Amino acid sequence: MKRLISANASDIAKMSASELKQSIKASEGRTILSENIAIIPTTVLDITSAEIAKGFGADLILINMVDVFKPAVWGLESQDDFARQLKNLTGAPVGINLEPVDTEADMLESKLDVSNGRLATVESLKKIEELGMDFVCFTGNPGTGVTNNAIMEAVKMTKEHFSGLIIAGKMHGSGVNEPVADVDNIKELIEAGADIILVPSIGTIPGFDHDQLKQAVKVAHEHGALVMSAIGTSQEGAKAETIRYMAIQNKICGVDIQHIGDGGYAGLAPALNILEMSQAIRGIRHTLSRMGRSINR
């Protein structure tokens, strides 16, 4: 088993969900996931944002706001089999956000409508299995009304319909009046079948501090899950110094994957901030390895 930060595209393509999880774990906190809004024009226009993210050091690609029944991924000539196309273009594992919307959520802001192909349903899970997604992420975009309980229910139903890794949790409130990260909720998510627990990055959510992140990591690791910290508050578009600080602090707290969000230009974190995160948590050697390693290997 090769660690993900040193794996070739041909190695990654052969990995099962459990092998991918072990490969991430073996990378010892040096794995980067880039989220991108895949439906809008990129800064380069004729390629996908997934290719840009991979070129600047991302190991995992998470696409956001794509309707799995009516996909419109920018940069692809054909939308047929879009997940496998992105995997072939990047040589990286590709996953998608599905939103477990709670119609009874206690909202702090106006609730936004989400199309059926973006919701966490049995039909959408069957579709992403058919498309060959490597992982699914259950979380909420701003104002969508995703709750911890709804995420829990989504995780419970997923194992029956999807064979990839399950990421679950909240990076911000999603417009809902409830705690973003809670230790008891983490335990329940893992018991329900979550492979990777999503929590906020240090410095993103008011009041979420180092002790809370360390506790979340400790609980998740004790129960066999990995942890992904998330910069999902548009701070992915902050100055490089901010990204560097967050990345180092998250690593100190023990997270396995560092997510950098889609709140920059054209639905992607500034590419140089992905590069900054990579250099901060794994140095220039592994950064060059990820950037320069051919997808034909």
Q: Roughly how many angstroms between the first and final C-alpha of the chain, as a whole number? A: 16
- At 37-84, the pLDDT tens digits run 999 999 999 999 999 999 999 999 999 999 999 999 999 999 999 999
Q: How crowded is the C-beta side of 168, counted as CA atoms within 13 Å?
A: 31
- At 113-132, the pLDDT tens digits run 778 899 999 999 999 999 99
How far, in Å, CA of 84 to CA of 50, rounded? 12
Domain 27-292: homologous superfamily in CATH = Phosphoenolpyruvate-binding domains (3.20.20.60)
Rounded to two decimals, the pTM is 0.93
How far, in Å, CA of 20 to CA of 46, rounded? 30
Would you state the pLDDT for residue 140?
A: 74
CB atoms within 10 A of CB 20: 21
Structure-token match 């104002």, residue found: 143
- At 209-260, the pLDDT tens digits run 999 999 999 999 999 999 999 999 999 999 999 999 999 999 999 999 999 9
Q: Is the pLDDT of residue 20 over 60?
A: yes
The values of phi and psi at residue 137, to 5°, are -120, 120
User: Residue 228's closest CA among 7, 86, 27, 38?
Assistant: 27
Q: Which residues have C-beta within 8 Å of that of residue 205, sequence separation ≥ 6?
A: 172, 180, 181, 233
User: Residue 180's closest CA among 191, 190, 169, 189?
Assistant: 169
How far, in Å, CA of 137 to CA of 154, rounded? 10
Burial group, residue 265, by CB count within 10 angstroms (0-12, 13-18, 19+): exposed
- At 249-293, the pLDDT tens digits run 999 999 999 999 999 989 999 999 999 999 999 999 999 999 999
